[in-house]
Amino acid sequence: INKGQVLTHYYRLMNKSGGYTWLQTCATVVCNSKNAEEQNIICVNYVI
């Protein structure tokens, strides 16, 4: 992922009743304004 891009993936997890719960994860890179070499990845997960 490059700065400014968003990566989105969908996946499912099996729950305890044997069914599936669908999830979506969105990730992006955030750079430190004081040090451009420091980068963080921010992920947000959604149950859909």
pLDDT confidence of residue 36:
75
Residue type, 18: G
Whether 10 and 22 have beta carbons less than 8 Å apart is answered as: yes
Average pLDDT, 10 consecutive residues per value, the chain (48 residues): 89 97 96 83 96
pTM for the model stands at 0.73
Res 7: pLDDT: 94
Give the pLDDT score at 39: 86
pLDDT reported for residue 29: 92
Q: Compute how many other C-beta atoms are within 10 angstroms of the C-beta atom of residue 28.
A: 17
**How confident is the model at residue 34, as a pLDDT?**
84
